[in-house]
Amino acid sequence: MAKSPKLRARDYMRRALYELDKNRYVPSDFYREYTGALTRQLSDLTILEKDSKKRKISIFYGNPERAIAKIKEDRNIILPVVSVSIDDLDEDITRRRTDTCLETETYWDKEEQRAIRIVSLPPKAVVLTYSINVFAKYTEDMNQLIEQIHMKFQPAMDIRTKFSSNTKAFLSDLSDESSTAPSDQQDRILKKKVYLSIETYVPNRKYRITSTGEIEEYNYEFDVEDSE
Please tell me the distance from the alpha carbon of residue 34 to that of residue 160, in angstroms, as a whole number: 8
Whether the Cβ atoms of residue 128 and residue 200 lie closer than 8 Å to each other: yes
Cα–Cα separations (whole angstroms), residue 69 to 7, 52, 64, 206: 58, 30, 9, 41
CA dihedral 153, 36, 78, 195 (to 10 degrees): 40
φ, ψ for residue 139 (rounded to 5)?
A: -60, -40
pLDDT for the residue 1: 41
Give the contacts of 194 (CB within 8 A, at least 6 positions apart). 131, 132, 133, 134, 146, 149, 171, 173, 174
Question: For domain 5-217, is the CATH number 3.30.2000.40?
Answer: yes
CA 226 – CA 202 distance, rounded (Å): 20
Residues 6+ apart with CB under 8 A from 209: 116, 117, 118, 119, 215
**58-61 and 81-91 beta bridge pairing:** parallel
Amino acid at 92: D
Contacts for 114 with CB less than 8 Å, ≥ 6 apart: 108
pLDDT at 225: 44
State residue 108 phi and psi, 5-degree precision: -95, 120
In this structure, of 20-24, 106-110, 136-140, the range with the lowest mean pLDDT score is: 20-24
The span from the CA of 101 to the CA of 122, in Å, is: 6
Strand partners, 105: 118
Asked whether residue 182 carries a pLDDT value surpassing 50, the answer given is no
Lowest-pLDDT range of 16-30, 187-201, 208-222: 208-222
The model's pLDDT over 57-98, given as tens digits with 9 standing for 90+, comes to 999 998 888 888 887 787 778 899 999 999 999 999 888 776
* Contact in structure between 175 and 193 (CB atoms under 8 Å): yes
Helix (H, G, I), strand (E, B) or coil at 20: helix
Is the pLDDT at 43 greater than 90? The verdict is yes
Could you tell me the residue ranges of all domains in the chain?
Answer: 5-217
User: What is this structure's pTM?
Assistant: 0.77
User: What is the chain's mean pLDDT, rounded?
Assistant: 82
95-137 confidence digits (pLDDT tens): 877 666 778 888 877 877 888 888 888 888 999 999 999 999 9
- CA 40 from chain center: how many Å? 11
Q: Are 33 and 66 in contact (CB under 8 A)?
A: no
pLDDT of residue 23: 64
